[in-house]
Amino acid sequence: MLDDAGLKALREAARLSPDNLPLRRHLAEQLLAKGYLADAEAEFRAALLLAPKDVDITAGLAEAFVRQSAHGAALAALEPLLATPGYPPRLGVLAARALLGEGETGKAGYRYHEAVSRDPSVADAELEGRLSAPPAPTIQPEPVPAAPAGDSAQGGAEVERSQFTFADVAGMEAVKEALRVKLLLPIQQPELFAAYGKRAGGGVLLYGPPGAGKTHLARAAAGELGASFVNVGLADILDMYVGSSERNLRATFDMARRNRPCVLFFDEVDALAARRSDMRQAHTRQLVNQFLAELDGVDPTANEGVLVLAATNAPWYIDVAFRRPGRFDQLVFVPPPDAAARAAILRILCRDKPLAEMDFDAVAKVTEQFVGADLKGLVDRAVEAKLQQSLAAGRPVPMSTPDLLAAAQGLRPTSVREWLATARNYVLHANESGAWDELMPWIKGKW
């Protein structure tokens, strides 16, 4: 480690050549090593401006934040990289430390467990001890009215009644049609299916960029069907203790079976269903095997009336065993919305608000690459501004097109382009079975 004179010389050198990235990174790392946390933070920030996606710099900045107990800032710095499939496991450990600092023990446990299962060398005994100290609190799903029964599995997932139907999902006609045939028709018109010798069953794997509406669609499918809805997040299943994750998974399936007809939705399923060859730890492989066993059911009627949907941003990580008949035998791409779909999403998001005449197409035009989640953020932002105006005026001031346009100005879309670039790497040379046909037009240059 440098002494203070060396550090001073390094600072001077960095001041003289501010665009020298390796030099700035080195200075930042030295400052961090010596515990000059605020200075390290400032240097990492400056370096990040030169190389916005640099993993080492992001990790350094996040560590500087964590050590200053700025856990939220650390998570914000890590977020873009954590959203990228296959992110470096050490970032997961940093995120776990930050999450623990925020009191999110369940999520922290998941991040840690996931990181160490991919690379055991990042294990951190001290952190592990802190993670397993108190029982992990569970993550609650979005606040949607619960079913009267109020059923819940020991892992934390709960039974909901969805207040959405397909009418609340803008665009995506092809996706809705695929789900209708797969999920709804066999239940709504069983005679027709029986006549053709087809049996209801098997799950659907929804994949696409983050925020494109996979969860919304699954919830709407439950509402459309009049079925209960169980939204299973990773933190509901993954547990630090060997064997507990399998138990949580079994309890979740059992809960869905008790509440049939039920749509059982697994978000971020790639972590539960990853290729077993990618897993270094035997107990993670056991979880995958347990998941396969639950999907198959102990007998052919075990999962009758339970429709399993799953979502992933990284379908290429899923073990092929999950794609066999009766499991996730249908892959459905949930695409980023085009201009017409964005206008339709905006219309849906604004429909209960006091509105002047709106030109949603104009807003759709300036929000290229925005996905549903981005558009929701935009509308929330415009509503907040309008609320303040209304409070000042003492009456509701209706929202208008310029309000949405203004809200759009400061916003950047999440990473659809990056997602498609990653998808291109994975699937372009691996589409022999035609599994990625729906995705092909998108990765071959539509964006």
Tell me the closest approach of the beta carbon of residue 36 to ligand ADP, in angstroms: 39
Distance CA 78, CA 67 (A): 15
Distance CA 2, CA 301 (A): 68
Q: Which is nearer to ligand ADP, 40 or 78 (CB)?
A: 78
Q: Which is nearer to ligand ADP, 48 or 371 (CB)?
A: 371
Identify the sign of the CA torsion 312, 316, 322, 326.
positive
Q: Which is nearer to ligand ADP, 156 or 213 (CB)?
A: 213
**Cβ–Cβ under 8 Å, residues 344 and 301:** no
Q: Which is nearer to ligand ADP, 231 or 245 (CB)?
A: 231
DSSP-assigned letters across all residues of 137-170: PPPPPSS-PBPTT--B-TTS-BEEE----GGGS-
Distance CA 266, CA 207 (A): 12
Q: Which is nearer to ligand ADP, 168 or 329 (CB)?
A: 168
Tell me the closest approach of the beta carbon of residue 50 to ligand ADP, in angstroms: 31
Q: Which is nearer to ligand ADP, 28 or 311 (CB)?
A: 311
- Altogether, the residues listed in the chain come to a count of 447
DSSP H helices in 68-211: 71-82, 89-101, 105-118, 125-132, 173-179, 185-188, 190-195
The binding site for ligand ADP (CB under 6 A) comprises: 169-172, 210-216, 311, 345, 348, 372-373, 376
Q: Which is nearer to ligand ADP, 24 or 219 (CB)?
A: 219
Taking CA atoms, 373 is separated from 73, 216, 270, 337, in Å, by 21, 10, 20, 11
Tell me the closest approach of the beta carbon of residue 346 to ligand ADP, in angstroms: 9
- Using only the alpha carbons of the chain, give its radius of gyration: 24
Tell me the closest approach of the beta carbon of residue 80 to ligand ADP, in angstroms: 15
Tell me the closest approach of the beta carbon of residue 387 to ligand ADP, in angstroms: 19
Q: Which is nearer to ligand ADP, 81 or 169 (CB)?
A: 169
Q: Is 201 helix (H, G, I), strand (E, B) or coil?
A: coil
Tell me the closest approach of the beta carbon of residue 145 to ligand ADP, in angstroms: 16
Identify the sign of the CA torsion 395, 399, 405, 411.
positive
Q: Which is nearer to ligand ADP, 182 or 214 (CB)?
A: 214
Distance CA 46, CA 48 (A): 5
With a CB cutoff of 8 Å and minimum separation 6, the contacts of 320 are: 275
Tell me the closest approach of the beta carbon of residue 345 to ligand ADP, in angstroms: 4
Tell me the closest approach of the beta carbon of residue 311 to ligand ADP, in angstroms: 6
C-beta nearest to ligand ADP: residue: 372
Q: Which is nearer to ligand ADP, 123 or 167 (CB)?
A: 167
Beta-ladder partners of 268? none
Angle between helix 372-393 and helix 401-409 axes, rounded to 10 deg: 120
Q: Which is nearer to ligand ADP, 210 or 261 (CB)?
A: 210
CA of residue 109 relative to chain centroid, distance: 17
Tell me the closest approach of the beta carbon of residue 129 to ligand ADP, in angstroms: 33
Tell me the closest approach of the beta carbon of residue 349 to ligand ADP, in angstroms: 6
**Cβ–Cβ under 8 Å, residues 231 and 191:** no
CA of residue 255 relative to chain centroid, distance: 23
Distance CA 315, CA 312 (A): 6
Tell me the closest approach of the beta carbon of residue 13 to ligand ADP, in angstroms: 44
